[in-house]
Structure 1
Amino acid sequence: MDKKFYIDESGNTGDLVVTEEDANFSSQEYFTLACIGLNDSSLPDLENFIKELKLKYKIQSPELKFSKMKGIFGKKIGFILELLKFIEESCDVLIEIVDKKYFLSTTIVNCLINPPYIQPDMNQDTRKSIHLDLSQWVYDHVTKEFLIKFTYISRNPSEEGLRELFDDLLALAKETEDILSDSICLSVEESIEYFKIIKNDKTLFDRDA
């Protein structure tokens, strides 16, 4: 029987924007999303269990929102533990955690280092491995100032801004001692050349052509 997954989409784990005033994602460096999966036939069991548990721990709130429940921790921790145990035993749990800086790093690779329109002929696994290696290099070596500039130019695109990003990234790669730095330089230089080609002949990438 197919299961339905119930996602908690409330709350806010911050933006991906990096600015001079807020260079650490408002102290929310990770995006998180969680959901539980269960069959329709199991839903009444969960609802009844929660009702009985609320009676047991004398919880009167009609909705179990964390903002209202956080006072329970340390006072009625048994409620949380019993509920989690029931969910663990009867439901599938899916949790997604994304490092926001790494997400930006992969975007930088896609835009400036290894854009999809100049992919060499290779199998999917090799292409994925290269992309991961390049993204890790960006994550390890790009400066806060570069992330701020990349964020700003992404929101306010211009040819001048794009050229600045290319130049800054190329300069960073040339001064960084790392086994991948030479490859980064070559890839950025190749991206610059393709940018010039695209600028001079946009029909090369015209989807209607």
Structure 2
Amino acid sequence: MTQSDFAAPSRYFVDESGTTGDLSRAGAGLDFKQQPVFALAAVGVDDEQGLADRLAQIRTRRFPQAAELKSSKGHATTTVVSELLDAIDALGGGILLEVMDKRFTLAATMINTLVMRPVSPDDHKPSALWFRMQLAEQLHDTAPVEVYDAFIQACRNPGEASLKAAFRAVLQLVPPETPRDSPAGAIRLFTLDSLKDYRKAGVSKPEVQRRFLPLPDLGHTGKEVWILPHLSAFTNLYARINKLRDGRLAEVHIVHDDQPYVAEILRSSKQAVEDLAADNKVMALARVDYRFVETGELTFTASTSSPGVQAADLIAGFAMRHTRDALAGSRPSLESLKVFHRLANTLDGAPGFGMNLMLSNRDVLRCGLLPSQVPPMQPS
């Protein structure tokens, strides 16, 4: 099936792989509990019963002893995922994927808050987003763990001392004599400007300190959650569905795996991006549309009761492991590369479908793809 004869589904089944909570709990040495990659997958298909029948056929052929196919049990093999993609194609569906390197996501967040926080609509233009991505690349490739740790401490314990320490860690990374027209020099220049703004606004004021840090969300226990990859991945995925359906979301139903610790955050964030559209505060990007004229329904259900969520679990698990292993230095097999390429190029690159990568260009290459010239949505 090609883009020209494709009708966008109205049902999307969502699941994730590689979650370890918010990035302010990165662990010693930024190991993220040995899960450095997060993936969120959405399977767009209207005929869930048809998908259930095909999943059952795949399970009978490949893992006949299993009650259901689960990524965590090793069922997301290249063969299973390839056959699953054949089934989704046959049902007129498609795949949306968000794949995020947590360390790179943390670097991008630092650029968007501490170093160069957006202050005008121009800061959301594609050229400005591209520039920020270059700075995030530089920070990701050169910053030691101590720089991230200082930023994380400022997030978890906001205050004058912790925020100054975060500024100081970034500035110490780049020597003063570094040319300003280099990415490293730009980081130093904008960090100095940001520090100047901070001092001018009042370093002891809590509301000022918060301006230079990402906004926290409240988890299901009432505790603050910082820099949650799931949140930015989901809101971007929602905007991609909006793009895919040309703004026609009234009949859309998004079914997410039942996860109480993020459910309320995702609901409130969905409402927040819809409210931004109502206020005409949206970003103009090629692959997403944050201009929500209509809104879709979001519900949560256990994977055991939803074949669509089971399919999303297999795809997210495969994408996470392929990326994780490539970033760790393993050379992907030819079969794995073929499936990963197929996920990246669903329906010949139809706007909305395919894969959005929050990785450095170097790591995109290591995964077997060419870096895009179109900037992805950046967490803030």
In the TM superposition, what whole-angstrom CA distance separates every residue of 1:40-87 from its partner, at most 9, and x where no partner exists?
xx222222333445556683544333345x3796xxx97665444323
Q: 1:198 aligns with which of 188, 201, 208?
A: 201
For 1:30, the equivalent position in structure 2 comes to 37
Would you say how many aligned residue pairs link Structure 1 and Structure 2?
A: 195
For 2:372, the equivalent position in structure 1 comes to none
Structure 1: gaps spanning 5 or more residues: none
SS at match of 1:36: strand
For 2:113, the equivalent position in structure 1 comes to 111
Q: Aligned letter for 2:70?
A: K
Q: Aligned letter for 2:161?
A: E
Residue 176 and residue 152 in structure 1: after superposition, are their counterparts in 2 closer, same or farther (change >3 A)? farther
Deviation at 1:22, TM superposition (A): 4.5
Q: Aligned letter for 1:18?
A: A
Residue 59 and residue 176 in structure 1: after superposition, are their counterparts in 2 closer, same or farther (change >3 A)? farther
Correspondences of 1:40-119 after superposition (within 5 Å):
42-54=47-59, 59=64, 61-68=66-73, 70=74, 82-90=83-91, 91-117=93-119
Contact 2:123 2:129 in 1 (8 A): no
Q: Aligned letter for 1:109?
A: I
Cα distance in structure 2, aligned partners of 1:200 and 1:50: 57
Residue 109 and residue 23 in structure 1: after superposition, are their counterparts in 2 closer, same or farther (change >3 A)? same
Matched, 1:162 2:168: no
Matched, 1:14 2:20: yes
In the TM superposition, what whole-angstrom CA distance separates every residue of 1:134-178 from its partner, at most 9, and x where no partner exists?
211211221111112221221111111111111221121226857
Contact 1:112 1:166 in 2 (8 A): yes
- Report which of the two structures shows the higher radius of gyration computed on alpha carbons: 1
SS at match of 2:96: strand
Higher RCO, 1 or 2 (CA under 8 Å, sep at least 6)? Answer: 2
TM-score by length of 2: 0.44
TM-score by length of 1: 0.75
Q: 1:183 aligns with which of 179, 183, 186?
A: 186
- The structure richer in helix per residue is 1
Cα distance in structure 2, aligned partners of 1:138 and 1:116: 18
Structure 2: gaps spanning 5 or more residues: 1-6, 209-380
